[in-house]
């Protein structure tokens, strides 16, 4: 019996996406932002992404058996609703709302799903609908896709789901068991997000900028522990400073923030502008340190016994994209292997809800070995896109793309590289990338300033051959998804300096030939020319934009920057004189 499951996300009004499982195989997955060209696609429905999934799979609306969504009803008897009500007594509308109308967001989400299905031509009365608890969807996206067979520790840290904010669990024989949850407003992810706003970035988008700023500061100059009461097993957030709502919020004009006036009175005015300066670099370092220390202690308290037994850990939720925390986790003596869901934030809950629904029906899902799950375009489609683009192009078909690209890179040229299917998740992994030669001095600054138009202190990542991984990062921890930073060996720091961060680490992607043969071929060509087998890799987008999807998107970005070379499949595009 065949089983087709469509997963949809967007439960918390951001990062809507769609994923399609057919008989346990993840056939397609994509974020809505890539199609509508609005980063995070806030308050949008995953219509275009779902249409893509069905079209790519070649199935009709009536072929869908189950629709899964990562948001569920929460019982009035649940700890989460009463915890929320008690902690928000200072905001009575929220407190009373949790008790008397605690599932209003669930009902709203069901209406949203029905609207999506109406657009797709899928009959609500014909399909089975699975509403999966938000953190169970995160947990499934990590555990069920990890491929781990042993008893597995499951960690989930994000802003919040229905009421829960943090999840500790155990996976065994395909089943997920909850061990402990924390509830809103006691959220490590929200504390980091609130502080992200204080540091001048957008919440749900700028957290990785805080992480990138942190190595430039001294984490011991400021003690931020008053933000969170922590006794080793429970957290209580100081909602006068962070995770604030209502009248406690700091305001500038009519705009309210998720941090309070008390934080500004303590630390000074919130940061503005693009410079990484004092004292804010030190604040970023201190926040990163606090986040890491509490996360590690909680991990040890709730999951340490499982990890000491098998050493297997999976991690999802937006905070799983904190690659510096992941580095600390990997270094724990009882962690043998860490799997981080590459689409760890809310876009990945489409995969999580769908995988959970498939598993529940006795159809196990395959391990996730790659994220090339989005649209792809033929050479002819790329040629046609150039013909109709308003800017004039020069183009030629190149037989050996890898060889030509390597030749351009070693001469100091950044190259835009659009090949095969688009990546699912926030990381460009060789499908929609801007590349550079990591030994060419100044290439990182040039890409930041002239192509991506972003802060100069933002780091880049290296993609490296699997054959040199142990020499570069000195560990055999799998790293296919750029989800973990590693200490770079002294020899390789001098060989690829443009991709080594201020603290001597790099967020490495280890590339194997099976999952991306064309990208692997490029790295082999780089090895022939430079001896290094590595490239600088960053996503193909400008500041504030989502990663490119189509040839049209790539051309728009190409002409809106100082890029000189763009590969659309085997088509080398340059700008006409």
Per the CB < 8 A criterion, the answer to whether 40 and 14 are in contact is: yes
Q: Report phi then psi at 366, rounded to 5.
A: -75, 155
Q: Would you state the structure tokens that stand for residue 498, as one six-digit string? A: 């443009």
Q: Which of 279, 280, 272, 247 is nearest to 261 (CA)?
A: 247
Alpha helix stretches (DSSP H) within 389-516: 401-410, 443-446, 469-473, 490-495
105 classed as catalytic: no
Q: What is the DSSP string of 353-371?
A: HHHHHHHHTT-PPPP----
Alpha-carbon torsion angle 559, 462, 278, 271, nearest 10: 50
DSSP secondary structure code for residue 271 in this structure: P
Q: Is 86 left (phi over 0), alpha (psi -120 to 50) or beta?
A: alpha
What span, in angstroms and rounded, lies between the C-alpha atoms of 19 and 66?
A: 12
Pairing of strands 415-418, 432-436: antiparallel
Q: Which residue has the tokens 């305001």?
A: 251
Per the CB < 8 A criterion, the answer to whether 462 and 438 are in contact is: yes
Q: Would you state the structure tokens that stand for residue 337, as one six-digit string? A: 């292997």
Alpha helix stretches (DSSP H) within 415-461: 443-446
Per the CB < 8 A criterion, the answer to whether 369 and 515 are in contact is: yes
Within 10 Å of residue 2's Cβ, how many Cβ atoms? 8
Q: Would you state the structure tokens that stand for residue 533, as one six-digit string? A: 């087998």
Per the CB < 8 A criterion, the answer to whether 2 and 64 are in contact is: no
Per the CB < 8 A criterion, the answer to whether 45 and 115 are in contact is: yes
Per the CB < 8 A criterion, the answer to whether 253 and 261 are in contact is: no
What span, in angstroms and rounded, lies between the C-alpha atoms of 336 and 279?
A: 37
Q: Which residue has the tokens 């869908």?
A: 64
Pairing of strands 235-237, 228-230: antiparallel
Which residue is catalytic, options 14, 134, 282, 370? 14
Q: How far is the first Cα of the chain from the last one, in angstroms, to the nearest whole number?
A: 59
Q: Which residue has the tokens 């790295």?
A: 523
Name every residue whose Cβ is closer than 8 Å to that of residue 386 and which is 6 or more positions away in sequence: 393, 395, 551, 555, 568, 571, 573
Active-site residue set: 14
């Amino acid at each position: 019996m065949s089983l087709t499951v469509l997963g949809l996300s967007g439960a918390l009004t951001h990062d809507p996406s769609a994923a399609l499982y057919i008989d346990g195989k993840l056939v397609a997955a994509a974020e809505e932002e890539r199609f509508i060209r609005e980063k995070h696609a806030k308050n949008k429905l995953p219509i275009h992404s779902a249409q893509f999934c069905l079209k790519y799979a070649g199935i009709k609306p009536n072929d869908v058996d189950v629709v899964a969504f990562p948001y569920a009803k929460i019982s009035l008897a649940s700890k989460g609703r009463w915890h929320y009500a008690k902690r928000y007594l200072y905001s009575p509308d929220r407190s009373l709302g949790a008790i008397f109308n605690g599932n209003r967001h669930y009902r709203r989400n069901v209406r949203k799903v029905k609207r999506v299905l109406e657009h797709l031509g899928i009959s609500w009365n014909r399909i089975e609908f699975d509403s999966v608890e938000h953190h169970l969807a995160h947990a499934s996206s990590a555990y069920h896709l990890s491929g781990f067979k042993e008893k597995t520790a499951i960690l989930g840290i994000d802003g919040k789901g229905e009421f829960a904010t943090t999840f500790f669990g155990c996976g065994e024989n395909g089943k997920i068991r909850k061990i402990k949850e924390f509830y809103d407003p006691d959220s490590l992810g929200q504390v980091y997000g609130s502080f992200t706003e204080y540091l001048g970035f957008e919440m749900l988008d700028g957290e990785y900028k805080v992480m990138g700023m942190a190595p430039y500061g001294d984490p011991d100059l400021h003690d931020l522990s008053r933000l969170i009461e922590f006794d080793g097993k429970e957290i209580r957030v100081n909602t006068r400073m962070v995770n604030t709502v209502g009248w406690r919020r700091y305001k500038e004009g009519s705009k309210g923030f998720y941090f309070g006036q008390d934080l500004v009175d303590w630390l000074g005015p919130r940061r503005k502008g693009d410079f990484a300066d004092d004292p804010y670099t030190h604040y970023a370092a201190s926040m990163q340190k606090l986040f890491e220390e509490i996360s590690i202690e909680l991990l040890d308290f709730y999951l340490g016994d499982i990890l000491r037994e098998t050493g297997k850990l999976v991690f999802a939720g937006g905070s799983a994209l904190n690659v510096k925390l992941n580095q600390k986790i990997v270094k724990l003596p009882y962690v043998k292997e860490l799997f981080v869901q590459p689409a760890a934030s809310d876009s990945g809950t489409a995969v999580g809800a769908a995988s959970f629904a498939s598993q529940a029906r006795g159809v196990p899902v395959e391990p996730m070995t790659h994220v090339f799950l989005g649209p792809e375009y033929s050479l002819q489609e790329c040629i046609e896109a150039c013909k109709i683009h308003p800017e004039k192009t020069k183009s030629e078909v190149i037989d050996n793309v890898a060889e030509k690209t390597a030749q351009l890179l070693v001469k100091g040229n950044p190259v835009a590289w659009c090949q095969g299917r688009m990546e699912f998740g926030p990381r460009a992994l060789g499908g929609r990338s801007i590349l550079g030669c990591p030994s060419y001095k100044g290439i990182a600054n040039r890409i930041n300033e002239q192509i991506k138009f972003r802060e100069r202190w933002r780091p880049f990542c290296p993609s490296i051959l699997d054959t040199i991984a142990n020499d570069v990062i000195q560990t055999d921890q799998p790293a296919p998804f750029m989800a973990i930073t590693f200490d770079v060996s002294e020899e390789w720091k001098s060989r690829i300096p443009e991709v080594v961060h201020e603290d001597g680490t790099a967020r490495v992607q280890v590339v194997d030939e099976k999952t991306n043969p064309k990208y692997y071929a490029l790295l082999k060509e780089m090895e022939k020319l430079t001896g290094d087998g590595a490239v600088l890799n960053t996503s193909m987008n400008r500041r504030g934009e989502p990663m490119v999807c189509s040839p049209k998107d790539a051309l728009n970005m190409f002409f809106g920057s100082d890029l000189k070379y763009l590969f659309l499949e085997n088509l080398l595009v340059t700008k006409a004189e």
